[in-house]
Structure 1
Amino acid sequence: MKRFLVVIALAGVLISCKNTNENKKDANDSVVATTAEEGKAEEVETNYVPIDSDEALVAASLMAAPEASRAGCKVIGYNMAGEFVTFREGDNEFIVLVDDPKKSGFNAACYHKSLEPFMARGRELRAEGKTGPEIFDIREEEAKSGQLDMGKPGATLHIYYGESDLYNPETAEVEGAHYRYVVYLPFATAESTGLPEQPIGANHPWIMNPGTHRAHIMISPLHNDKKK
């Protein structure tokens, strides 16, 4: 009789454990399903809208600047009406050139203020109808003669670019946009820097236009969806 009672007790314990494990499994499955649904909801809720005002244009373009410096950047460029204006003055070392709203996609730049003579000369020559090669040759001659100030060696250009012209008004991020960085070293070469003249792999720095006024280090970070 005692053995019979022990067998019944053990059976009860096994059934209880089985039910507990099944309940835990059901609970875990429920958590996973809930998390997956929440992830889908977050993806759907991202609200990208057209950049259709000067305020939106400035907000999105400021993403080109380092986050800690955005509040003090000078901001210039074409407004929604097609006029080249100063949106605001700044009090730090950066100038932000907003995306041109008349062009497809998105391309905003943030550069060290010592580069402004070089950048302004390029805008002036483009406004005169000069081609890319013509602008290069003119600025090369002017830089070599000392007429054109090329800024401080090592001055940087930050570029925020992408194919979309939609942005998230809550974060100011442009849909699918990425970063690229340029460090200007006028007349530097592969020999003077130790950098290759072609990238040896993704995310590797290299020197472009070596030996010229536009010599610069190119740095193209891997896109977020390609990081390893």
Structure 2
Amino acid sequence: MKNLFLTCLTLSMFTSCAQGEKPEIMPKEIQIKTALLPAPDDKKEGAMVYGYDEDGEVVVLRQGTNDLVCLADNPYNKGISVSCYFKDLDPFMKRGRDLKKEGKETMEVRKIRGEEVASGNLKMPESPSMMYIFYGTEETYDKTTGVIGDGKFRYVIYTPFATTESTGLPLKPHAKGMPWLMDPGTHRAHIMVGPN
């Protein structure tokens, strides 16, 4: 019993130290390369890219010239995940990042953004808006090239307030890779596709 207690104490001390450590921030060029992985080829060159500075703050790494916004991997999260989305989703995405930075949990973020959309203070796109996601494990991430070796795609099409009745989509996939509707009837309603 004593050994178990000491093991637990040691593990909790290690966890606390690990949580207090500053994450490794990739060089700007690598962050941009990785952030652009999910983008369609014809959109990569002109996409705006958000990433992280030396203090771990979200900053613009590259200004854009088209309608795509890409986000580098969050060094505070486990695994590697990058995304690109239609520029009209940027206020919604930025608000989520800001609320998370304030320490809000996921469900609280959803509630606050929902209230802000309902009041008109936060605008959602009126038309379906695309989001491309590419994700994988840290073990296969090449920090020198920005490539994710075991990466998979997932696609999300935001369609605020869409329902199964308005789209004909099911609420869950019945075959691998098929589209389905998540969070129907809410400001967050979106069509999920993949991974294959």
Q: Which TM-score applies when normalising by structure 1?
A: 0.70
RMSD over equivalenced CA pairs, Å: 1.9
Deviation of 1:80 (Å): 5.0
Deviation of 1:54 (Å): 2.0
Q: Which string of whole-angstrom CA distances, capped at 9 and with x for unpartnered residues, describes residues 168-216 of structure 1?
A: 856x531101110000110110011000011111011000000100000
Q: Which has the larger radius of gyration?
A: 1
Structure 2 gaps, min length 5: 1-23
Aligned residue number for residue 114 of structure 2: 140
Q: Greater shift after overlay, 89-98 or 70-79?
A: 70-79
Q: How does 1:82-121 map to 2 (within 5 A)?
A: 82-121=56-95
Q: Which TM-score applies when normalising by structure 2?
A: 0.81
**1:51/1:125 Cα in 2 relative to 1: closer, same or farther (>3 Å)?**
closer
Aligned residue number for residue 44 of structure 1: none
Aligned-partner SS, 1:72: coil
Deviation of 1:124 (Å): 1.2
Deviation of 1:74 (Å): 0.4
**1:126/1:168 Cα in 2 relative to 1: closer, same or farther (>3 Å)?**
closer
Aligned-partner SS, 2:192: strand
Asked if 2 retains the 8 angstrom alpha-carbon contact of 1:105 and 1:162, the reply is yes
Q: Which string of whole-angstrom CA distances, capped at 9 and with x for unpartnered residues, describes residues 53-99 of structure 1?
A: 22112112211211111000000122354132110100000000110
Aligned residue number for residue 11 of structure 2: none
**Structure with the largest fraction of helix:** 1
**1:70/1:152 Cα in 2 relative to 1: closer, same or farther (>3 Å)?**
farther
Among 207, 212, 218, the alignment partner of 2:181 is 207
Quote the sequence identity (%). Answer: 42
Q: Give the ranges of 4+ consecutive aligned residues of structure 1 lying more than 3 Å apart after TM superposition.
A: none
